[in-house]
Amino acid sequence: MTTDPHEVAPVLEADAAARHNQDAGPILRLQGVGKRFPGVVALRNVSFDIQRGEGHVLLGENGAGKSTLINLLGGLFPPDEGSIWFNGAPYSPASPLEAFSKGIRVVHQELNLLSNLTVAENLLFEHLPSRRGLVNYREMNRRAAELLAEVGLDISPSTVVSRLGVAQMQLIEIAKALAHESKLLVLDEPTATLTSKEVDRLFEILHRLKERKVTTLYISHRLQEIYEVGDRVTVLRDGQHVTTEPLKGLAIPDIVRLMVGRTVTDQGVFREDIKPTGEALAVEGLRLTETSPPIDFSVRNGEIVGIAGLVGSGRTEAVRAIFGADPKASGTIRVNGRPVAIASPKEAVAAGICLMTEDRKQQGLLLEMSCAENITITDLKRLSRKGLLDRAMENAASERLVAGLRVKTPTIFQKVGTFSGGNQQKVVIAKWLYRGSSVLICDEPTRGIDVGAKVEIYELMGQLAAEGKGILVVSSDLPELMSICHRILVFSNGRLAGEVPRAEFDQNRILSLAYEEYGRVRGN
Amino acid sequence: MSEGTESAGERKTATVWDNFLRISMREAGVAIALVIIVLFFSATAPYFATPENFLKIFVQIAINTVLAAGMTFVILTGGIDLSVGSVLALCTVVGATIMVREDLSPWMSIPLALLACMATGAACGAINGWVCEKWKLPSFIVTLGMLNVASGLARVVSDNSTITGLPQPFVDFGNQIYFGVLPSIFLIAIIVILIGWFILRFTVFGRFVFAIGTNEEAVRLSGHNPRIFKIAVFTISGLTAGIAAMVFLLRLNVGSPIAGIGYELNAIAAVIIGGTSLSGGKGSIIGTLVGACILQVLATGLQLLGAEDNVKPIVIGTVIVLAVVLDTYRNRYLRKLEAR
What's the first-to-final CA gap in chain A, in angstroms? Answer: 36
Nearest Cα residue to A446 out of A435, A460, A432, A433? A460
Q: In what order do the strands lie in the sheet with A55-59?
A: A104-107, A184-188, A215-219, A55-59, A232-237, A240-246
Per-residue pLDDT of chain A (524 residues; tens, 9 = 90+): 444 444 444 444 444 444 444 456 899 999 999 998 766 788 999 999 999 989 999 998 777 888 889 999 999 999 999 999 999 899 999 998 889 888 898 888 777 888 899 999 998 887 788 888 888 889 999 999 999 988 888 899 999 998 888 778 888 888 888 887 788 999 988 887 777 777 888 888 888 888 888 899 999 877 888 888 899 999 998 889 999 999 988 888 888 888 876 555 555 678 888 889 999 999 999 999 999 999 999 999 999 999 998 878 889 999 999 999 999 999 999 999 999 999 999 999 999 999 999 888 889 999 999 999 999 999 999 999 999 999 999 999 999 999 999 888 889 999 998 888 889 999 999 999 999 999 999 999 988 777 678 888 998 999 999 999 999 999 988 888 998 999 999 999 899 999 999 999 988 899 889 988 876 444 33
Q: How far is CA A206 from CA A56, A151, B109, in A?
A: 12, 10, 82
- Half-sphere exposure of residue A64, counting CA atoms within 13 Å on the CB side? 23
- In this structure, what CATH number is given to the domain that contains residue A112? 3.40.50.300
Q: What is the pLDDT of residues B134-191, one digit of tens each?
A: 999 999 999 999 999 999 999 999 999 999 999 999 999 999 999 888 999 999 999 9
Closest CA to B236 of B282, B278, B290, B196: B196
What pLDDT, on a 0 to 100 scale, did the predictor assign at position A19?
Answer: 45
Q: Element (H or E) spanning A10, and its range?
A: helix A8-20
Check whether residue A384 and residue A337 sit in a common domain: no
Q: Which of A81, A101, A104, A83 is nearest to A92 (CA)?
A: A83
Give the count of beta carbons closer than 10 Å to the beta carbon of residue B299: 18
Domain span including residue A501: 277-352+438-450+465-515
Phi-psi group of A468: left, alpha or beta (phi > 0 → left; psi -120 to 50 → alpha; rest → beta)? left
Segment B304-330 mean pLDDT: 86
For residue B338, what pLDDT band results from cuts at 50, 70 and 90? Answer: low
Mutation target to probe the B interface, by most B beta carbons within 10 A, among A340, A369, A391 is: A369
Q: Give the β-pairing of A215-219 and A184-188.
A: parallel
Q: Mean pLDDT across the stretch B59-85?
A: 97
- Residues A209 and A100 placed together within one structural domain of the fold: yes
Q: Residues A231, A247: contact at Cβ < 8 Å? A: yes
- Domain B50-330, CATH number (from 1.10.3470, 3.10.20, 2.30.30, 1.10.1060): 1.10.3470
Band (B312; pLDDT cuts 50, 70, 90): confident
Delimit the domains of chain B by residue range: 50-330
State the Cα–Cα distance between residues B150 and B82, nearest whole angstrom: 11
* Over residues B273-278, mean pLDDT: 90
Chain-chain contact of A389 with B3 (C-beta, under 8 angstroms): no
Last residue within a domain, chosen from A193, A225, A259 = A259
Q: Which of residues 234-293 of B touch A (CB under 8 A)?
A: 281-282
The domain boundary, picked from A259, A288, A309, lies at A259
For residue B70, what pLDDT is reported?
Answer: 98
Q: To the nearest 5 percent, what fractions of chain A are helix, strand and coil?
A: 40, 25, 35
Q: What DSSP assignment string belongs to A431-459?
A: HHHHHT-SEEEEESTTTT--HHHHHHHHH
Which of B1, B202, B221 is facing A345, going by the closest CB pair? B221
Q: What is the pLDDT of residues B203-217, one digit of tens each?
A: 999 999 999 999 999
Question: Quick check: is A499 in a domain?
Answer: yes
* A210 and A321 together in one domain: no
Nearest chain B residue to A324 by CA: give it: B221
Among A450, A409, A36, A417, CA closest to B336: A417
Residue A127: CB atoms within 10 Å = 8
CB of B102 less than 8 A from some CB of A: no
Contact of B225 with chain A, judged by CB distance below 8 Å, is answered with yes
* Residues B315, B309: Cα–Cα separation, whole Å: 11
Same structural domain, A192 and A242: yes
| B26 Cα to chain A: minimum distance (Å) | 14
| Residue in B222, B224, B331, B340 to test binding to A, most A beta-carbons within 10 Å | B222
Q: CA torsion, points A347, A349, A354, A355, in degrees to nearest 10? A: 50
Contacts of A31 (CB under 8 A, 6+ apart): A47, A82, A83, A84, A85
Which helix H or strand E contains A36, and what residues bound it? strand A28-37
* Residue A308 belongs to some domain of the structure: yes
Count of residues making up chain B:
340
CA nearest neighbour of B189 among B276, B118, B288? B288
Domain count across chain A: 3
From chain A, the residues in CB contact with B223 under 8 A are 345-346, 348-350, 354, 378, 435
ipTM value for the complex: 0.87
CB A473 within 8 A of CB A306: yes
- Identify whether the C-beta of residue A140 lies closer than 8 Å to the C-beta of residue A121: yes
Instruction: Judge if A413 and A475 occupy the same domain.
Output: no
Instruction: For chain B, list the strands marked E by DSSP.
Output: 177-178, 182-183
Q: Judge whether residue B261 has pLDDT over 50.
A: yes
Predicted local confidence at residue A126, as pLDDT:
78
Tell me whether residues B338 and A408 touch, CB distance under 8 A: no
Q: Which residues, in sequence order, are CB contacts of A163 under 8 Å at separation 6+?
A: none
With helix as H, strand as E and coil as C, how does B155-170 read? HHHHCCCCECCCCHHH
Bridge partner residues of A28 (DSSP): A50, A86
| Digit-coded pLDDT (tens) for B11-27 | 445 567 766 666 666 66
Q: What is the pLDDT of residue A65?
A: 87
First to last CA, chain B: 12
B224 band by pLDDT with thresholds 50, 70 and 90: very high
Q: Which residues of A make CB contacts under 8 Å with B? A: 38-39, 323, 325, 344-346, 348-350, 354-355, 357, 362-369, 373, 377-378, 380-381, 383-384, 387-389, 408-411, 414-415, 417-420, 423, 431, 435, 450
Based on the fold, state whether residues A137 and A63 are members of the same structural domain.
Answer: yes
- Rounded CA separation A416/A412 (Å): 9
Listed residues A207, A229, A259: the one ending a domain: A259
Q: Which residues contact A430 (CB under 8 A, 6 or more apart)?
A: A375, A398, A401, A402, A404, A405, A407
Answer yes or no: is A523 within a domain: no
| Contact assignment for A410 to B12 by CB distance below 8 Å | yes
Per-residue model confidence (pLDDT) at position B228: 96
Using a CB-CB cut-off of 8 Å, the residues of chain B touching A348 are 223
Q: Do A122 and A193 share a domain, yes or no?
A: yes
Is residue B296 within 8 Å of B54, Cβ to Cβ?
Answer: no
Q: How many pairs of residues across A and B have Cβ atoms under 8 Å apart?
A: 96
Do B304 and B48 contact (CB within 8 A), yes or no?
yes
pLDDT at site A62? 74
Which of A349, A362, A387 lies at the smallest CB-CB distance from B217? Answer: A362
Structure letter (DSSP) for residue A361: I
- If asked whether residues A88 and A225 sit together in one domain, one would say yes
Q: Where are the beta strands (DSSP E) in A247-392?
A: 277-287, 295-301, 304-309, 330-335, 338-340, 353-356, 384-385, 388-389
What SS3 state is found at A288? coil
Within 10 angstroms of residue B332's Cβ, the number of other Cβ atoms is 10
Compute the average pLDDT of residues B40-49: 93
